[in-house]
Structure 1
Amino acid sequence: MHRHKKITDSLKNSPLADFKVGVDNVIFSVDTAQNRLMVLLVMRHDEPFLDQWCLPGTLVRHGESLEDAAYRILAEKIKVENLYLEQLYTFGDPGRDPRESPSSFGVRYLSVSYFALVRFADAQLIANGVSGIAWYPVKQVPQLAFDHNEILEYGYRRLRNKLEYSPIAFEVLPEVFTLSDLYQLYATVLGENFSDYSNFRTRLLKLGFLSDTGLKASRGAGRPASLYRFDAEAFAPLKDKPLVFI
């Protein structure tokens, strides 16, 4: 007998689960000054996991959609004009939350996670008189409450995938940018070995949706660099095609 059938048979007469639904946001940003991928963490001020870092989250209120709850917790923690937000995954393993009762009739806690990317320079954290909100480098994240390390890792994989197959980077870059700015964002998230600059530049320009503004940016002693703009209209015919940006 297959394991799946054994599990199904053992649960056949179990009572239906009673769920509370929460939303947890994996909010990423790129600190371009120090070339670090950052994630927003908050300190818990209640049990369980009192005084432990976690992802910003909330239980969904009566009459509130999941997306509205995700945006509400964003608005409570951060002020930002440009952001990218999408639903990530639902985490619902039994026992993922210590508040669950060992009884079959106890309340279960689901987490519907959302993935967000915001512009670091524009993001203003909201403390509201409560300490414990900070950007953490993804590589230095401590042990988080609940299963939030697992949720964070899932979000990190999604971010890397989105950079390869979608124009998500342009959601958080300034309106005009150099190819070096764009390359640095990719290198920060994907690692410096993902591509050399020359191949990256050739690939992106060949795709045809970067518009040269004719303007130059002078930084340091090097030659002034061309400033580009993402052309959403030129990208539109490519939207549903399996592109690889790198």
Structure 2
Amino acid sequence: MSGRTQKKSADPPNALADFKVGVDNVIFSVDTAQNRLLVLLVLRHEEPFIGQWSLPGTLVRQGESLEDAADRVLAEKIRAENLYLEQLYTFGGPERDPREAENCYGVRYLSVSYFALVQFAETELIADGVSGIAWYPLKQIPQLAFDHNQILTYGYRRLRNKLEYSPVAFEVLPELFTLSDLYQLYTTVLGENFSDYSNFRSRLLKLGFLLDTGVKVSRGAGRPASLYRFDADAFAPLKDKPLVFI
């Protein structure tokens, strides 16, 4: 028998991949006081990508659903009322995770991403003494770990699309709001050029799902502004129709 060490043969082309599944959460909020769209990031304190910022994520535990894993990692990072996570997309390209190298674990890593928009003033960050956590303005996002910049870009596209056809904006506004408050939220997310205020105001009032409460509020030297409330029942016939808000 030869004393030479035989080289391990490569996997055949049709070999099945061995996967580990993780979840990554794209959590947006709008700081209306400073007109900033924010993203929740956490600082990694272990390899791979130690010392880099990333989206809040975790590997799914045995016997745990994807939704429970996504909820678990967020519960460790923030406290927020009525937080609803919507599944975004699955990212599973080869070599998206450096732990997929042949000299490491020899497995593939899938990321099932989730998306949410939360109220900035009502969301509390949990400082656990281990992982840094912070709101980052979208325009100042650094290079993130793994493929999280790609996941974030996909999440931002989903947020923009949802603002066009769904009432997601009212989930982060106070129950009573002015039309200027609503317009400011849209310009913060979509940009200043998405619509002028007069057209935006006229369009929404004609659709009939904003109820004038009869209450006015004074802000600064201008005329008092009316406070409105979102009427979900009146909006129901428009649900999922495109371009309702723009």
What TM-score does the superposition give when structure 1 sets the normalisation length?
0.92
Structure 1 segment 110-189 matched on structure 2, within 5 A: 110-189=110-189
User: 1:184-208 deviations in whole A, cap 9, x for unaligned?
Assistant: 0000000001000000001111111
Contact 1:23 / 1:59 at 8 angstroms: preserved in 2? yes
8 Å contact 1:29–1:120 — kept in the other structure?
Answer: yes
Q: Deviations over 1:27-71 (max 9, x none)?
A: 000010110100000000110000110000011111111111111
Residue range with higher mean Cα deviation, 13-22 or 179-188: 13-22
The yes-or-no answer on 1:190 pairing with 2:198 is no
% identical aligned pairs = 83
Deviation at 1:125, TM superposition (A): 0.2
Asked if structure 2 preserves the Cα contact closer than 8 Å seen for 1:113 and 1:151, the reply is yes
Which AA in structure 2 matches 1:37? L
Cα deviation digits, residues 84-134 of structure 1 (max 9, x gap) = 42111000000000011338x921000000011000011100011225110
Aligned mates of 2:36, 2:241 — CA distance in 1: 30
- In structure 1, the gaps of 5 or more residues are 1-10
What is the one-letter code of the residue matched to 1:219? Answer: R
Q: Does the 8 Å CA contact 2:45/2:131 hold for their aligned counterparts?
A: no
Distance verdict in 2 for CA 1:84–1:180, change over 3 Å: farther
- Give SS of 1:121's match: coil
- Aligned counterparts of 2:221 and 2:107: Cα–Cα separation in 1: 63
- Measure the CA separation in 1 of the matches of 2:242 and 2:188: 23
Following the alignment from structure 2 to structure 1, what is the Cα–Cα distance between the partners of residues 32 and 84?
18
Q: 1:20 to 1:137 in 2, by over 3 A?
A: same
Matches within 5 A, 1:31-42: 31-42=31-42
Check conservation: 1:82, 1:171, Cα contact below 8 A: no
Aligned to 2:107: 107
Partner of 1:28: 28
The CA distance in 1 between the partners of 2:240 and 2:136, in whole Å, is 34
Please say if residues 164 and 242 of structure 2, whose CA atoms lie closer than 8 Å, have aligned partners that are also in contact. no
Q: How far, CA to CA, are the matches of 2:172 and 2:85 in structure 1?
A: 11
Does residue 224 of the first structure (1) align with residue 219 of the second (2)?
no
* Residue 209 (structure 1) aligns with: 209
Q: TM-score, normalised by structure 2?
A: 0.92
Letter in 2 for 1:147: D
Whole-angstrom CA distance in 1 between matches of 2:171 and 2:61:
29
1:238 deviation in Å? 1.8
Equivalent position SS for 2:180: helix
Matched to 1:186, the amino acid is Y
> If you compute each CA radius of gyration, which structure gives the higher value, 1 or 2?
2
Aligned residues: 235
Q: Counterpart in 1 of 2:59?
A: 59
Amino acid at match of 2:101: S
Structure that is richer in helix per residue: 1
Instruction: Identify the residue that residue 95 of structure 2 maps to in structure 1.
Output: 95
Query: Structure 1 stretch 202-211 or stretch 78-87: which is displaced more?
Result: 78-87
Q: Is the 8 A contact 2:44 2:131 kept in 1?
A: no
